[in-house]
Amino acid sequence: MNKDTMVVVGGGQAGGWVIKTLRSEGFTGPIVLISAETHPPYERPPLSKNLLRNADAISETALLSEADLESAGVEAWLGDEVVEIDRAGRTVRCASGREQEYHRLFLTTGSRPRIPDWMAASRSGRAHVLRTIDDASSLRAGLASTGHLVIVGGGWIGLEVAASVRDMGIAVTVVESASRLCQRSVPEPVSHWLRTLHEGHGVTFLMGRSVEGLVDEADHIGITLDDGSMLVADRMLVSIGAVPDVALAQSAGLEIYNGIVVDETGQTSDPAIFAAGDVTNFPCSFAGCATRRESWANAQNQAIAAGKAALGQAVHYAELPWLWSDQYGHNIQIAGLPEKAGEVLFAPGPEGATGVWLSLDHDRRPCGAIGVGAPRIFRPVMKALKNGGEIDLGGWEAVNNAEVQ
């Protein structure tokens, strides 16, 4: 056993970027990647977008191919799961029985979809979640014979799937238990804009409603709602959020609180173990508190920081929270913490492009922004949010729900 061995558990966005970073920063020792999925590290954003419409869009997910892993000298154990960490012996044990010693261990186990009890009992194969390439393939195959799709959950993934599926001419009903869309990440005027956008494309919303049960029939499903009514559909997607995959870290006795607790370098409560991506709860300097983020940018940038830190470099992960969504040809960018708004201002984009919403916190300080089709307005706002710079509020107007179409 080589005493330098770096072991990466989880081959998603963060796991892939730990490996890329270790090699680009000059680490020449052994790297072992162990991932439960059979696919080499890939990116998930296309799964709810192009990949639902077009199987060839699989190429958009590529992060590290098997050939890339091989040429980087990475030993990849794909389709195997780490079930135990022996911290004293610095060894991981897999479901297959294989064991591997480590010098430094990276936990990039991500998050997994929240699955309600009523869904777990369904046997028809008509109720889907969307996290992996295999989930996307299964949903895409099912959509070929779907006239009506019910989506439970009006968050980003649910809305992206609604947009993709409407483009395919399939009827969509979204059931959302909150009173507005994407409530946890955007202020009310943006929820309103999203709803108007989708209704304009024929999506039906049942807001303030939750699902209580599912009835499997031979050629359809019945979905019982909390008001006693039943929706009939060919298929459903359940996208009601994700939970951090902490089981392994928890059983190893690492500190857990809404994710694996790490410091600003990605180090866990065990100095030999780092973590990055959706699974971590990290000190966010912008938020001024510990937070967990599920975003492509966080998975990549935190993994880069953790990889460097494990090589002994001085790092301090302090990125501005940022994510994006694509719906009906609109690229929607969300920076900072716009959901903390006490007040929302709006600047329209040029020539019919939508514009930028700016959230001010309760002290009237900018705390986040959402941009749609107006990069010249959005980019300097994002820069100011990142660097703590001033934003001239002169050209901005207060906005209420109904103003922006």
Reduce the DSSP state of residue 383 to 3 states and report it.
Answer: helix
* Opening angle at CA 204, ends 176 and 348, nearest 5: 85
Reduce the DSSP state of residue 8 to 3 states and report it.
Answer: strand
Reduce the DSSP state of residue 234 to 3 states and report it.
Answer: coil
Minimum distance from residue 16 beta carbon to ligand FAD (Å): 7
Residue choice 44, 90, 104, 192 for contact with ligand FAD (CB under 6 A): 44
Q: Are 111 and 245 in contact (CB under 8 A)?
A: yes
Chain residues 181-220 in contact with ligand FAD, contact rule CB under 6 A: none
Residue count, binding to ligand FAD (CB under 6 A)? 37
Task: Examine residue 9 and tell whether it contacts ligand FAD (CB under 6 A).
Answer: yes
Question: Applying CB under 6 A, which part among 174-182, 249-257, 277-285, 313-321 lies near ligand FAD?
Answer: 277-285
Minimum distance from residue 287 beta carbon to ligand FAD (Å): 17
Closer to ligand FAD at the Cβ: 96 or 400?
Answer: 96
Q: Are 345 and 295 in contact (CB under 8 A)?
A: no
The neighbour count for residue 146, using CB atoms within 10 Å, is 18
Residue choice 325, 327, 333, 359 for contact with ligand FAD (CB under 6 A): 325
Minimum distance from residue 131 beta carbon to ligand FAD (Å): 5
Minimum distance from residue 339 beta carbon to ligand FAD (Å): 15
Joined together, the tokens standing for residue 228 give: 């006693």
Task: Examine residue 157 and tell whether it contacts ligand FAD (CB under 6 A).
Answer: yes
Q: Are 44 and 63 in contact (CB under 8 A)?
A: no
Could you tell me which residues are beta bridge partners of residue 204?
173
Residue choice 5, 8, 10, 346 for contact with ligand FAD (CB under 6 A): 10
Question: Applying CB under 6 A, which part among 12-20, 202-210, 224-232, 345-353 lies near ligand FAD?
Answer: 12-20
Give 319-364 as a DSSP string.
PPPEEEEEETTEEEEEEE-GGG-SEEEEEEPSTT--EEEEEE-TTS
Joined together, the tokens standing for residue 143 give: 């959509």
Minimum distance from residue 266 beta carbon to ligand FAD (Å): 12
Task: Examine residue 45 and tell whether it contacts ligand FAD (CB under 6 A).
Answer: yes
Residue choice 6, 19, 33, 36 for contact with ligand FAD (CB under 6 A): 36
Which value, to the nearest 10 degrees, does the dihedral of the CA atoms of residues 221, 178, 260, 334 take? 110
Reduce the DSSP state of residue 382 to 3 states and report it.
Answer: helix
d(C-alpha 240, C-alpha 114), whole Å: 6
Residue choice 225, 311, 323, 353 for contact with ligand FAD (CB under 6 A): 323
Could you tell me which residues are beta bridge partners of residue 216?
221
Minimum distance from residue 136 beta carbon to ligand FAD (Å): 7
Residue choice 7, 240, 256, 278 for contact with ligand FAD (CB under 6 A): 278
Residue choice 33, 82, 237, 382 for contact with ligand FAD (CB under 6 A): 82
Annotate each residue in 214-253 with x if it binds ligand FAD (CB under 6 A) or - if it does not, as one string.
Answer: -------------------------------x--x-----
Minimum distance from residue 173 beta carbon to ligand FAD (Å): 20
d(C-alpha 14, C-alpha 16), whole Å: 5
Alpha helices in 201-274 (DSSP H): 247-251
Question: Applying CB under 6 A, which part among 210-218, 290-298, 354-362, 388-396 lies near ligand FAD?
Answer: 290-298
Chain residues 98-127 in contact with ligand FAD, contact rule CB under 6 A: 108-111
Residue choice 27, 118, 296, 328 for contact with ligand FAD (CB under 6 A): 296
Q: Are 357 and 189 in contact (CB under 8 A)?
A: yes
Minimum distance from residue 296 beta carbon to ligand FAD (Å): 4
Minimum distance from residue 68 beta carbon to ligand FAD (Å): 16
Taken as a whole, the chain contains a residue count of 405
Give the pairing of strands 91-94 and 99-101. antiparallel
* Opening angle at CA 138, ends 107 and 223, nearest 5: 100
Task: Examine residue 14 and tell whether it contacts ligand FAD (CB under 6 A).
Answer: yes
Task: Examine residue 368 and tell whether it contacts ligand FAD (CB under 6 A).
Answer: no
3-state helix, strand, coil in the chain (%, to 5): 25, 30, 40
List residues binding ligand FAD (CB under 6 A).
9-15, 34-37, 44-45, 47-48, 81-82, 108-111, 130-131, 157, 245, 248, 277-279, 294-297, 299, 323-325
